[in-house]
Chain A
Amino acid sequence: MKPTVRPDPFGGELAPPRTPPTARPATDPAKRPPPAPRPGARARRLRPLVPYALLAPALLVLAAILGFPLYRLVSLSFQRYGLRELIAGKGTFIGLQNYRDILGDPFFWTVVARTVVFAAVCVGLTMALGTLVALLLRNLARPMRVLVTAGLVAAWAMPTLTAVSIWQWLFDFEFGIVNWLLTRLGVAGYEQHNWFDQPLQGFAVIVMVVVWAALPFVAITLHAGLTQVPAELEEAARVDGAGAFQVFRHITFPMLKPIFLILATLSTIWDFKVFTQIWVLLNQRPSRDYFLLGIWSYSESFGVTRYGKGAAIAVVMVVLLMVLTAFYVRQMLKAVGP
């Protein structure tokens, strides 16, 4: 880090001028008591240390609770660490064996593909529907707009666990209102229909829970962004004969592109590691058909006590997520500036 050109606001420039040392009355150096440290001298010497002192507590705690577990995660992934090792408190180094195991397991590729597709569907739906709702909000008269926004905020505020139990109840096989509605609409086969029998249908419900909870944030943020787009630009395009879609494609979208990118990356981060929704919706016993990377890692470690393998899966998950979000990190660093 280069030394700053900006004056330190708490630096010496603003401090009251101190008496220069020559102003001291001259006395016989032999009889003089040992010089008392001048006020401020010590403080000035210590000043460069102040930021480090302020940072120290937080950094120490972070090193202990984040740095060390990260290191442990990686080292665990190179170890056999089962029940016996848990009791002994020490794993056995086995090199890349865990990674060879998972990469050689066809199930691994199924889970990776499933996780990526699941996240892509959730992000795609959230972004598409969120955009539509944001555009809709702009076209509503004020009372209606306030009403819809209030609804969005209410859904947004729901804790994940609450949202999960609500949707579990809506999709209950016996008394759930969704089955009732479908039956009422004349769709055959939805009386006493269990949505989680077939993974594809089960995932449809899970996607719905995720999108329902994520959509308000995207819609409200995009709507806030839309209000910044000058109406004249869009009007001009319309006068030139552009259709609604073309206006969006060539005027609105490019202007909101930074917001879109940030929202899409944030959604990717959130949807890639979905755990609670699946775990609780399936009563804490999801079958292997419902495993995503996070759940698989969890069940390898805590279900069948193969912590080493579970850690290897977690490392793969972190690496994948890092790759997917590298872009976002770059954007943020740019925003913070050098």
Chain B
Amino acid sequence: MTRRRLARAGYNTAAVLVLLATVFPIYWMVATGFKRGVDILSFEPKWLPIPGTLENYRTAIGKPYFLQDVVNSVVVVVATVLVSLALAFLAALAAARFRFRGRAALIVMLIVVQMVPLEALIIPIYLMLDGAGQTDRLAGIIVTYLTFVLPFSIWTLRGFIVNIPEELEEAAMVDGCTRAGAFRRILFPLVAPGLVATAVFSFIQVWNDYLIAYVLLRSPEKQTLGIWLASFTTNHGTQWGGVMAGSTLFAIPAVVFFLLVQRRVVTGLTAGAVKG
């Protein structure tokens, strides 16, 4: 019995360590964001942000182009997600519900394409967009994001559609529904959660991007929030409060959306969807 109790104590200690390692960095960010300057730049760390201040958030939001960059990020993310969702839904429907010549090749291509690191494609993409005069424009970056969001979305949506039994649509058609009607009345409502989940995956990927926006967007009024945050960080050694407040603000949308789909991520990623 004592051995058992010892083991339990050991497990709990380990659990507390894991908890500290995962949560403390996040706590430290949030806490620093609410601390006064003197408490941040002190050689003896202050564990609690008391007395707190909103000064850092004011600094972060008041930084030039913050609001413009929020708008840019939202425009880019929403446009990318909507375009890719529409295109991916049609393609996924074909890949999941139809048998046709070239279907196997299509599926192989969808998998292989996701292995190509976008980091490698950024050079030709930059040169192409530069030739077309589309660097430093939101349209150019939206198109670029489609390169990785689209294959991934087709793949994920295909998985969702495959899991809906075809018999449901067949039954509807026996009852006199047209083919299009069966899609609209039966398949679409059932696949709607899948559409939402795919949209959220895409949202998180685009929101979290740094490299592409960094390469393609040069002028500060065109940049997205990620670049805004990273440029904040270059003021090394100063304004840690502002950086932490900015990081918190940047993380909030990603965290909220992530929590919505977290359960699906495990099954989604291991069952087929690839990039993270």
Contacts and interface: CB of A to CB of B under 8 A. Distances in A.
Partners in one complex: yes
Q: Chain B contact residues (Cβ within 8 angstroms of A): what range?
A: 35 or more
A329 B207 CA distance: 27
Contacts of B226: 159, 161
B63 to A, nearest CB: 14
Contact of B208 (A141, A159, A338): A159
- SS class of chain B's interface: helix, strand, loop or mixed? helix
Interface stretch (B50-58, B189-197, B268-276): B268-276
A3 B121 contact: no
Contacts, number: 301
Nearest to A89: B131
A1 B127 contact: no
B234 interface: yes
A76 B119 contact: no
Interface stretch (A17-25, A120-128, A247-255, A297-305): A297-305
A246 interface: no
Interface in B221-242: 226, 229-230, 232-234, 236-237, 240
Nearest to A72: B124
- SS class of chain A's interface: helix, strand, loop or mixed? helix
B116 A70 contact: yes
A267 to B, nearest CB: 10
A99 interface: no
Given A157-B255, A169-B32, A169-B244, A297 B22 contact: no
5 contacts: A48-B100, A172-B237, A175-B240, A266-B276, A275-B210
Interface of B: 7-8, 11-12, 14-15, 18-19, 21-23, 25-26, 28-29, 32, 40-45, 87-88, 90-91, 93-95, 97-104, 106-108, 111-113, 115-117, 119-128, 130-131, 143-144, 146-147, 150-151, 154, 166, 169-170, 173-174, 179, 182, 204, 207-208, 210-211, 214-215, 226, 229-230, 232-234, 236-237, 240, 243-244, 246-248, 250-251, 254-255, 258-259, 262, 265-266, 269-272, 274-276
Given A65-B146, A174-B237, 12 more contacts: A65-B125, A136-B18, A148-B19, A151-B23, A162-B29, A162-B229, A180-B44, A217-B276, A224-B266, A273-B120, A301-B126, A333-B107
